[in-house]
Amino acid sequence: MTTEQNEVQRLSKRMAQLGLCSRREADSYIEQGWVKVNGVTAVLGQKVLDSDRIDLNRQAHRQQAERVTILLNKPVGYVSAQPEKGYRAAVELITETNHWLEDKSPIHFQATHTRHLAPAGRLDIDSVGLLVLTQDGRIAKQLIGENSGIEKEYLVRVSGRLDDKGLALLNHGLSLDGEKLRPAKVNWQNQDQLKFILKQGKKRQIRRMCELVGLKVIGLKRVRIGRIKLGALPPGQWRYLSPQEKF
């Protein structure tokens, strides 16, 4: 077998590739002795081959099962990640008071559920709708990893004129930051609202796409990520991703 077919790489990187956990989580599990390579307890910094068998022990699986993923209907004025001057971070909305009363998940709120919550994807300060916050590196990788193909659906109110050529460019043909955008699905919902379905998430992507074809975004709402819909979740409230739900 050639090197190309059986690459040597860092164990934590290989674990992330396999979807076992994030690279940061992998290092933590290795340090705690929770990872075995071909039946032997792994060490930090170890290199492995693609053909090596990697196993997590019960403690690692138990810790993963305890990690939560939260779905928030983000209102205007909150930033997705680090708070900016004069604005608050969306994670501050994850309180027991803001927990949606109609949440069907069997998970009961605990203070530990707000620790190490990270946004899996951005949503601009002026945009609203579905924002995913997770403690689980596997879900973050699935949604925002380099090879993620998860669809994100948006309803976008616009002003300006858009001809058939402009609509075609929104679907495929535009570039941002010197990079050609992946094909999108864009169509009219009514006379002033477009539906965008994207498989990538550049900074302020939809607003910048609209500017390139002469449109101004008046309002933007994310309503779906993969198979998970915003549904009736009220603005500023959140619910758990239940164990049965998959993106």
Query: Would you tell me how many other CB atoms lie within 10 Å of the CB of residue 77?
Result: 12
Label residues 167-177 b or e (16+ Cβ within 10 Å = b).
Answer: eebbbeebeee
The neighbouring-strand residues paired with 140 are none
**Are 20 and 13 in contact, with CB atoms under 8 Å apart?**
no
137/56 Cα distance (integer angstroms)? 15
Which residues on neighbouring strands pair with residue 220, listed in sequence order? 156
Q: How far apart are the first and last CA of the chain?
A: 36
Helices (H), 18-74: 23-31, 58-66
What residues act catalytically? Answer: 124
Query: Pseudo-torsion of CA 141, 144, 148, 150, nearest 10°?
Result: 110
